Amino acid sequence: MFNFEFYNPTRVIFGKGQIDKLHSQISKDAKVLILYGGGSVKKFGTLDMVKKSLKDRKIVEFGGIEPNPRYETLMKAVDIVKKEDIDFLLALGGGSVIDGTKFINLAANYTGNNKAELLTNPKAVASITKGLPIGTVLTLPATGSEMNMGAVVSYKSGKFPVFSPLSFPRFSILDPTITYTLPLTQVANGIVDTFIHTVEQYVTYPAEGRFQDRTAEGILQTLIEIGKKTIDNPKDYDARANLVWCATMGLNGLIGAGVPQDWTTHTMGHELTALFGIDHGKTLAILQPAIWSVRKDKKRDKLIQYAERVWGITEENDDLKIDLAIEKTREFFESLGIKTRLSDYGLTSDKIDLVVSNLENHGHTNISETGDLTLSISREILEKAM
Amino acid sequence: MFNFEFYNPTRVIFGKGQIDKLHSQISKDAKVLILYGGGSVKKFGTLDMVKKSLKDRKIVEFGGIEPNPRYETLMKAVDIVKKEDIDFLLALGGGSVIDGTKFINLAANYTGNNKAELLTNPKAVASITKGLPIGTVLTLPATGSEMNMGAVVSYKSGKFPVFSPLSFPRFSILDPTITYTLPLTQVANGIVDTFIHTVEQYVTYPAEGRFQDRTAEGILQTLIEIGKKTIDNPKDYDARANLVWCATMGLNGLIGAGVPQDWTTHTMGHELTALFGIDHGKTLAILQPAIWSVRKDKKRDKLIQYAERVWGITEENDDLKIDLAIEKTREFFESLGIKTRLSDYGLTSDKIDLVVSNLENHGHTNISETGDLTLSISREILEKAM
């Protein structure tokens, strides 16, 4: 096991009716900025529930944070935070709204003139010494942002991850019932996102992180058990609750502590979203089988472990085990209604140059857990994913 | 899944050589009280390493916190905290030292005259609004105290659990190498303690906590894999590191969130330790097989799941599955050199009255996850454990 630090101070308040606890979690005299995305939180009454729980606190609203939140949108909220003298940021939404809120907080408290440098310069981020408290009410299980210190922000043709301990939410309310009204395609995307977060911290090379491995396998097995069930029966509380909790646990630092991590799928996926607007979760479902096929030798031991423990594959031949596991993974994504090939999204192989060129422009020339996944291997992966 | 709150702000700093990080974790002008148990931290150089990392901070020492720390001992440290105007409490030891330190902190900050009421009156504990920061350097993997808010204190003929959010350590340093010099019997006790913490949050009744179940199973499987290995080869880093991390994860709130819990084994075990001085870990190894035999019907579904998933038992007959799982559990404890019957410790059945009477005196008349484990069932368990 590698040396590591694990720290996660977010309070999770989980279950039916927990929005009522908002009142007890925020200072009574705080002026609260509620941030959200499109109109669904209005349409389905979640915003009203939140406002009711906040009682007579002063409230300001900022809606319109889009999926893959854009820097320019978030800067508008930064102005409001200052002008309105906001004390508390309450994100009501999924990963995009929560990520956006985290970045708004950092930008509002950054003393440098050019806020955009926070996207690419970790030292600029580290120079920020205090921020406003953030709370979240999660409406979409997927990114794990409700219990971590990361955010991904879109700017020009790229997506940029930004990390700061100031971004840990003070609390996150996870009520599975408020996710019942989600479009099923978003639920499916969230299942895939969680699945891929988990394998990116697990299917690498053996490092004697037995708790981490077993816990990752537990998340994957749970997703396989309840994935289709929660899509077929959106109001099955237990299925949805297990999805919500797995999504949070998949990216809160727990399963990645002390073991290698390989963020290739997300790194390459971000380029596909930025260039072609393919949903984040779908880009991952397209890339993962292709990445494993191409990196079979590098990940051999863990792919065998994954085949045996997650899928219960008992064939004697190890290569067959791996191939079957990759195929079963693809079938799982497809069973959720998610297509797993670039060509399914209308992309032709002449677009590969563009993706490779963007990977190069963004510095992703030696990625993966071993740092040796070059642009030519990325090209091979994209060809495999056609 | 039940509604729950999960909150754990302790920073874990894990791995070889991490004691060097102490310096960065404690305010430079803090006056530090280092608390420890017997002489082993001196003998093996751990205390010197700690002092070196603390550099030129003012240091006061308080040694002699015994296993199952006694209220009277801890009160002596409370006097020192006040007299010496201490700013930071640094526990250097296992669960007893850490638990003791937590209680010292509460008692030193309690305004009531009778500190002993903190042992039995949660309202008195809740009235404490601030405490000193606590850090720990763990020398014995077992109790999980390094990453939770609980403490167990001995007073007169009883052991009393005390919970407060003020008791979460600010940080805990977990360096597996400093546990190499532990007596093997203590390592074995720690393995059993961790195993039992885990089953007490897992072998109850089904509640659709799939992540929690799988994670608990992962801890148990890991302990089975590395338990004997880390006793036979105390300097096998990976085996010991996995034990240390599992011990912490077994009782930090994670696997118990949103699922039923049954603390019968600990509740009854505490009486055996208080009355007869049997090591805590050993009391658990004695009681667990007997509890499962007697409560087979109440725990049927989860015992079958435990048999199948943790031990890989595939027999068709469910009763046989359960019996085999109980037997395998007993064999696992015995393989660590831990005897599993009361008679192995020289106890005869005429002592059972005394235990039952103490359970009654301490109010443990309706325990377990279903609240229906009465004194007569406790008696049956003790008879079975002879």
Assigned domain for A359 exists: yes
Is the minimum CB–CB distance between A8 and chain B shorter than 8 Å? yes
Q: Are residues B150 and B209 in the same domain?
A: no
What integer pLDDT is reported at residue B178 of this predicted model?
97
- Average pLDDT taken over every residue of chain A: 97
CB A384 within 8 A of CB A330: no
- Selection from A105, A297, A159, A306 nearest residue A218 by Cα: A306
Query: Residue A240 belongs to a domain with what CATH number?
Result: 1.20.1090.10
What integer pLDDT is reported at residue B358 of this predicted model?
95
CB A216 within 8 A of CB B228: no
Cβ–Cβ gap A249/B211 under 8 Å: yes
Please, which pLDDT band fits residue B158 given cuts at 50, 70 and 90? confident
User: What number is the average pLDDT over the span A106-120?
Assistant: 97
Q: What is the tens place of the pLDDT at every residue in B226-278?
A: 999 999 999 999 999 999 999 999 999 999 999 999 999 999 999 999 999 99
What integer pLDDT is reported at residue A256 of this predicted model?
98
Q: Are residues A323 and A284 in the same domain?
A: yes
Q: Are residues B220 and B348 in the same domain?
A: yes
pLDDT at A126 over 90: yes
Q: Are residues B23 and B122 in the same domain?
A: yes
Interface of A with B in 53-72 (CB under 8 A): none
Assigned domain for B3 exists: no
Q: Kind of pairing, strands A158-163 and A150-155? A: antiparallel
Please, which pLDDT band fits residue A158 given cuts at 50, 70 and 90? confident
Mutate to test the interface with A, among B245, B248, B251, B255 (most CBs of A within 10 A): B245
| One-letter amino acid of A122 | P
Is the minimum CB–CB distance between A355 and chain B shorter than 8 Å? no
User: What number is the average pLDDT over the span A302-325?
Assistant: 97
What integer pLDDT is reported at residue B84 of this predicted model?
98
Nearest to B1 among A10, A242, A254 (CB): A242
Please list every residue in chain B whose beta carbon sits closer than 8 Å to the beta carbon of residue A238: 1, 208
Residue ending a domain, among A128, A143, A178, is A178
Please, which pLDDT band fits residue A347 given cuts at 50, 70 and 90? very high
Q: Are residues A166 and A196 in the same domain?
A: no
Q: What is the tens place of the pLDDT at every residue in A237-275?
A: 999 999 999 999 999 999 999 999 999 999 999 999 999
Is the minimum CB–CB distance between B221 and chain A shorter than 8 Å? yes
Cβ–Cβ gap B7/A11 under 8 Å: yes
Residue ending a domain, among A178, A201, A232, is A178
Is the minimum CB–CB distance between B5 and chain A shorter than 8 Å? yes
Assigned domain for B253 exists: yes
pLDDT at B346 over 90: yes
- Reported ipTM: the value is 0.97
User: What number is the average pLDDT over the span A359-366?
Assistant: 96
Please list every residue in chain B whose beta carbon sits closer than 8 Å to the beta carbon of residue A2: 15
Mutate to test the interface with B, among A1, A13, A238 (most CBs of B within 10 A): A1
Q: What is the tens place of the pLDDT at every residue in B114-142?
A: 999 999 999 999 999 999 999 999 999 99
What integer pLDDT is reported at residue B157 of this predicted model?
82
Q: Are residues A170 and A201 in the same domain?
A: no
Residues in chain A: 386
DSSP A1: -
Cβ–Cβ gap B3/A17 under 8 Å: yes
Q: Are residues B159 and B255 in the same domain?
A: no
Mutate to test the interface with A, among B211, B236, B249, B310 (most CBs of A within 10 A): B211
User: What number is the average pLDDT over the span A343-357?
Assistant: 97
Count of alpha carbons within 13 angstroms of residue A13, beta-carbon side: 18
Assigned domain for A94 exists: yes
Task: Tell me how far apart the alpha carbons of residues B249 and B245 are, in angstroms, rounded to a whole number.
Answer: 6
Query: Residue B129 belongs to a domain with what CATH number?
Result: 3.40.50.1970
Assigned domain for B269 exists: yes
Task: Tell me how far apart the alpha carbons of residues A365 and A351 are, in angstroms, rounded to a whole number.
Answer: 18
Is the minimum CB–CB distance between A259 and chain B shorter than 8 Å? no
User: What number is the average pLDDT over the span A160-186?
Assistant: 97
The total of structural domains in chain B comes to: 2
Is the minimum CB–CB distance between A218 and chain B shorter than 8 Å? yes
Assigned domain for B120 exists: yes
What integer pLDDT is reported at residue B51 of this predicted model?
98
Q: Are residues A372 and A235 in the same domain?
A: yes
Residue in the structure block whose two tokens are 């996870």: A174
Is the minimum CB–CB distance between A246 and chain B shorter than 8 Å? yes
Q: Are residues B158 and B289 in the same domain?
A: no
Cβ–Cβ gap A245/B258 under 8 Å: yes
Assigned domain for A113 exists: yes
Nearest to B15 among A3, A15, A238 (CB): A3
Interface of A with B in 180-209 (CB under 8 A): 208-209
Cβ–Cβ gap B3/A18 under 8 Å: yes
| One-letter amino acid of B11 | R
What integer pLDDT is reported at residue B29 of this predicted model?
96
Range of the domain at A359: 183-384
Assigned domain for B2 exists: no
Please list every residue in chain A whose beta carbon sits closer than 8 Å to the beta carbon of residue B213: 218
Residue B146's alpha-carbon distances to B35, B135, B151, B195, B332, in angstroms, are 14, 9, 10, 17, 26
Q: Are residues B213 and B319 in the same domain?
A: yes
Q: Are residues B172 and B197 in the same domain?
A: no
What lies within 8 Å, CB to CB, of B65 at 6+ separation is B35, B36, B37, B73, B74, B77, B93, B96, B97, B100, B101
pLDDT at A19 over 90: yes
User: What number is the average pLDDT over the span B68-92?
Assistant: 98
Q: What are phi and psi of B156, to 5 degrees?
A: 50, -130
What integer pLDDT is reported at residue B235 of this predicted model?
98
CB A306 within 8 A of CB A296: no
CA distance B132 to chain A (A): 18
* B8 three-state secondary structure: coil
Please, which pLDDT band fits residue A159 given cuts at 50, 70 and 90? confident
Please, which pLDDT band fits residue B287 given cuts at 50, 70 and 90? very high
CB B313 within 8 A of CB B307: yes
CB B306 within 8 A of CB B324: no
Residue ending a domain, among A178, A207, A224, is A178
Mutate to test the interface with B, among A195, A202, A215 (most CBs of B within 10 A): A215
User: What number is the average pLDDT over the span B194-223?
Assistant: 98
Tokens of A58: 């002063």
CA distance A208 to chain B (A): 6
Q: Are residues B39 and B105 in the same domain?
A: yes
Neighbouring CB atoms inside 10 A of A78's CB total 18
Please list every residue in chain A whose beta carbon sits closer than 8 Å to the beta carbon of residue B18: 3
Please list every residue in chain B whose beta carbon sits closer than 8 Å to the beta carbon of residue A8: 8-9
pTM (predicted TM-score):
0.98
